[in-house]
Chain A
Amino acid sequence: MTKTVADLQIGEKGIIEHVCLNDIPLKLLEMGCMPGKEVEMVQIAPFNDPLYIIVNGSHIAIRKEVAEIIKIETDKILCDIIKSK
C-alpha cells in the first residue's frame, strides 16, 4: 500500500511521489505542494486532524482528507532517486 502524507509521524519526512491533478485543490498546488517536493510533518493536532506540514518551504496546515490524496515515498534510497530526477 502506498503511503500518503496522512501516514507521516511527527518529524518524519517524505517525498511527494504523486498528486492526482484532478483531485488536489489548486490552492495547495499554488503553495508549492507538487511531485518531487519534500514534505515534513511538523505537528498533528488533537484528534489527528488537521496536519501541520512543511512543503517546498511553505509552512501550512491541511485537513486529513486532503493529506490522504498526496501520495509519498519515505524509503531513503527511492527518495534520493526521485529527488535527483
Chain B
Amino acid sequence: MRHNKIKVALVGNPNTGKTSLFNQLTGLNQKVGNYPGITVDKKQGKCKLSETVTATITDLPGTYSINPNTIDESIVLETLINKDNEDYPDIVLVVAEVDNIKRNLFLFSQIKDLDIPTVLVINMSDQMKRKGISIDVELLEQELKTDVVLISARKNIGIDALKKALLHPKYKKTEALAVYSKRMDVDFFTKVATELKNHSLYKAWLLITQCNDLSAFPKQEQVAIEKFREDENKLARLQHKETVLRYAKINDILKKTYKVDQQKATTLRARLDKVLTHRIFGYVIFVAILMLIFQSVFDFAQIPMDYIDSGFAQLSNWTTSKLPKGMFTNLLTEGIIPGIGGILIFIPQIVILFLFVAILEETGYMSRVVFLMDKIMRRFGMSGKSVVPLISGTACAIPAIMAARNISGIKERLITILVTPFTTCAARIPVYAIIIALVVPNERYYGFNLQGLTLMVLYLIGFVSAIVSAYILHKILKVTNKSHFIIEMPNYKLPSIKNLVVTILEKTKAFVFGAGKIILAISVVLWFLASNGPSSSFGKANEIVAKEIKLDGINLSESEQQQKIASYKLEHSYIGILGKTIEPAIKPLGYDWKIGIALISSFAAREVFVGTLATIYSVENEDDTTGIKQRMQAEINPETGKKRFDFPTGISLLVFYAFAMQCMGTLAVVKRETNTWKWPLYQLFGMTAMAYLFAFITYQVLS
C-alpha cells in the first residue's frame, strides 16, 4: 500500500490556540529547527491523518496579517508565497477563534487569496454557548468557499472532523484580489497584471509591497517591481484601502452567519482587567508575582540542585574506584563527569523560571504587564514589551534576547538586546551561591538571612545596571525609531498543561544541548591543560619537589608529599602558566592565578567558573570525597596566611560577575539578532571594563 505524505501549514493570529492545536495534532512527535539565516524557531510535527496519509505540519509564527511587522511574521509570507520553498504547503490550516472571528477572518482572507487550498478551523467552539455565540457553518462555508470546522483544541473536540477535511477538502478554487482591485485603483492594477503576468494579481501585489529579496526573479520583473515601488505614499494608501475593503466584505459575510447575544458575553475579562491593570493594584500584583517567581526559583530549585551536585560527586568517586587508574579514567572523573554535572545542575532553576514565564504568557497576563510598564520603560528607551526579555533574562539571556524580536521599534529593540545580559541569569547563580556561602555568614539580621539578602542585592544590581545602561544608551544612540506600539490584550485563559510541558521540554533541551556542548568541551580542554605542562618543570615534578623537601629539611608524611607534588604540577601545567601570566592584572581585584584560570575559562560561560575551580582543586587534590565548597574554604592565601576566599575577594568576585559579559552563547545570539559584530563587541568590552572597574573599587575599599 502506498503511503502518501502531505504538507500542512498552520497559520493564525496569536492567542487563537494555534499552538494547542499543533500540540494536539502532533503530540510529542515534533521537532524544533531553524529557518535558514535567522534564529526563528521552526516547529514541525507529524500527524497521521488516515492509514495511508501522514501530514507534516509546520506551525508558522502567529501573525495578524500577511504583511509582516516583525522578523517572525515575515516567515509566514516567505513560506506561503514561494512555490519552491521547502515548506510550501499542500493545504493551509487557518486557525480562528470564536471570540475574535472578525479579525481572524482578515488574515484568512489574505491567505485565501494566495491560491493554496485552505481549511478554516474555528477554535474554542465549546465556549460558544456560554458566550451566546452562534455560527451558521454551512452558510459560512458557502460564503467563504472554504471548508470550515469547529473544534476545541484543548478539549480535543472536532479533531477527527478536521483530519477528514484535510484529507478531502470540498472547496479547492478561490477568488483573488481581483475582486478588490477594481475598487482600489483600476489603472494601477491593470498595469500590474500586464507587467507581472506570470503571477496571480495578489501575489504580484505582495511582491511589490512586501518582498525584500527579489534576486530569485527575472531581471525584467525586478525592474517592473522597482518601478511600481517608486510612489511609496500611493502604495501605503492602496494597502490601507485594501484593508478597509476586506473588512467590509468580512462584515457582510458575518452579518449573515455569525450572531452574538451581547447579554451573555462574559464580563470576566473586564472584571479581571479592572484589577490587573489598575494603576495601583496592577503594580502591587506584578511585584508580588515577581517575588513569588524568585522565591520559588531559590526555594524549590535548591533541593534538586543539591541532589544533582552530590550525585555527581558520588558518581565521580564510584567511577574512580571501579575503573583502573590511567589517562582515560582521569579524563572521565575529572573532566567529563564534573562537566556534565555542571550543566545538569541548572535544569531545576531553568525549568521553574521557564514554567512561570510560560504561565504568564499562556494566561494572557504578560500583555497586561506590557501595558502597565510601557510608559516607564519608554523613559529608558525601551518599550513595555522589553519586560518579557528582561524577565526571561533571569533564566537565560539567549532565549530572552530572541524574545526581543517582538519589539517593533528598532531602537527600543536594540537597547533591550544590549542591556538584557545585565539581568542575573541562572548561570550566575552557582557562582554567586558558592561565593556567598564562603564569605557571607549564614546568620539572621533583623529577621533577614544575610546570605539571602546578599543574593537579593545582586539581583537588584543586575536590574539597576540594566536600567541605567539603557538610559545612557537611550541618550547616546542615534537611531531613528519609527515604531508603532500596538498590542493585543488577549482573553484570560487557564494555561494548558500540555502546552506548558511541551514549551519547557523544548527550552530545557535547547539549553542543555546548546550551552551544554560548550561547557562540556571547555571542561575537557581545561582538564587537559591542567594535567599537562612543559616537560622541564611539569615532567620532573616528583624530583623537584623531593629536592625542595630535602632542602627545607622538614619531615612530611606520604600524603602531604603527594599534595605538594600535585600543587607543584598544577602551578607548572599549561593552565597554571596561563593563570600566572594574568595574575598581575587581576591582583588589584584580589584574585590569584587559580581564580585567574577560572576567569579565563568562564569567558565562554559564567557557570564554568565553579566547574573550573572544581577541576583545579580535584586535580590538585586526589581525594574527591570533599565537596568543592569545603575545598575552597580550606584554600589558604600563602602571602597572608589567611583564607583565600576572604570577604574582600569574595565580594569583589560577586561584583565582577554581576557586570562581566561572560557568555559566548549570548554574544553569538546578539550577533545573529543584530546582524553585525559591532554590538556584541561593544557589549563584551563595555561590560568587561565595568566589571573590572567596579571589582577593583570594591576590593580596594574593602581590604
Instruction: Report which B residues bind A (CB closer than 8 A).
Output: 64-65, 67, 69, 99-100, 102-103, 106, 233, 236-237, 239-241, 243-244, 247, 269-270, 273-274, 277-279, 367, 370-372, 374-376, 384, 484-491
Q: Which 3 A-B pairs have the closest CB atoms?
A: A25-B484, A59-B489, A21-B240
A30: chain B residues within 8 A (beta carbon): 64-65, 67, 103, 106, 243
Tell me, in angstroms, the Cα distance from A58 to B103 when the chains sit together.
8
Dominant SS among interface residues on chain B: helix
Flag whether A79 is at the interface (Cβ < 8 A). Answer: no
B279: chain A residues within 8 A (beta carbon): 45-46
| Nearest A residue to B384, CB-CB | A50
B65: chain A residues within 8 A (beta carbon): 26-27, 30
Question: Known contacts being A46-B279, A49-B374, is A27 close to B64, with CB within 8 Å?
Answer: yes
A50: chain B residues within 8 A (beta carbon): 371, 374-375, 384, 485
Flag whether A5 is at the interface (Cβ < 8 A). Answer: no
Find out whether the CB atom of B237 lies under 8 angstroms from the CB atom of A22: yes
B486: chain A residues within 8 A (beta carbon): 25, 27-28, 31, 60-62, 66
Chain A nearest CB: distance from B493 CB in Å?
13
Question: Known contacts being A31-B486, A45-B277, A61-B487, is A52 close to B371, with CB within 8 Å?
Answer: yes
B278: chain A residues within 8 A (beta carbon): 43
A: number of interface residues (CB 8 Å): 29
| Nearest A residue to B488, CB-CB | A60
Find out whether the CB atom of A21 lies under 8 angstroms from the CB atom of B237: yes
Q: Of B236, B274, B484, which contacts A27 at CB under 8 A?
A: B484
Chain B nearest CB: distance from A65 CB in Å?
9
Chain A nearest CB: distance from B175 CB in Å?
21
Find out whether the CB atom of B103 lies under 8 angstroms from the CB atom of A31: yes
Find out whether the CB atom of B488 lies under 8 angstroms from the CB atom of A59: yes
Which residues of chain A from 36 to 65 have any CB-CB distance to chain B below 8 Å in the complex?
A: 42-43, 45-47, 49-50, 52, 56-63
Q: Of A24, A42, A47, which contacts B375 at CB under 8 A?
A: A47
| Nearest B residue to A62, CB-CB | B486
Instruction: Report which A residues bind B (CB closer than 8 A).
Output: 21-22, 24-32, 34, 42-43, 45-47, 49-50, 52, 56-63, 66
Pull 6 A–B residue pairs with CB atoms less than 8 Å apart, ordered by A. Answer: A28-B484, A30-B65, A32-B247, A34-B244, A50-B371, A61-B374
| Nearest A residue to B371, CB-CB | A61
Q: Of A31, A32, A43, A62, which contacts B485 at CB under 8 A?
A: A62
Chain B nearest CB: distance from A54 CB in Å?
9
Tell me, in angstroms, the Cα distance from A47 to B237 when the chains sit together.
33
B269: chain A residues within 8 A (beta carbon): 59
Q: Of B99, B233, B375, B491, which contacts A45 at CB under 8 A?
A: B375
A59: chain B residues within 8 A (beta carbon): 269, 488-491
A25: chain B residues within 8 A (beta carbon): 484, 486
Tell me, in angstroms, the Cα distance from A49 to B383 when the chains sit together.
12
Tell me, in angstroms, the Cα distance from A24 to B241 when the chains sit together.
12
A56: chain B residues within 8 A (beta carbon): 102-103, 247
Tell me, in angstroms, the Cα distance from A23 to B26 when the chains sit together.
43
A45: chain B residues within 8 A (beta carbon): 277, 279, 371-372, 374-375
Find out whether the CB atom of A42 lies under 8 angstroms from the CB atom of B270: yes
A60: chain B residues within 8 A (beta carbon): 486-489
A29: chain B residues within 8 A (beta carbon): 240, 243-244
Q: Of A21, A22, A32, which contacts B103 at CB under 8 A?
A: A32
Tell me, in angstroms, the Cα distance from A42 to B247 when the chains sit together.
24
Q: Of A26, A31, A46, which contacts B236 at CB under 8 A?
A: A26
Tell me, in angstroms, the Cα distance from A28 to B103 when the chains sit together.
11
Chain A nearest CB: distance from B427 CB in Å?
34
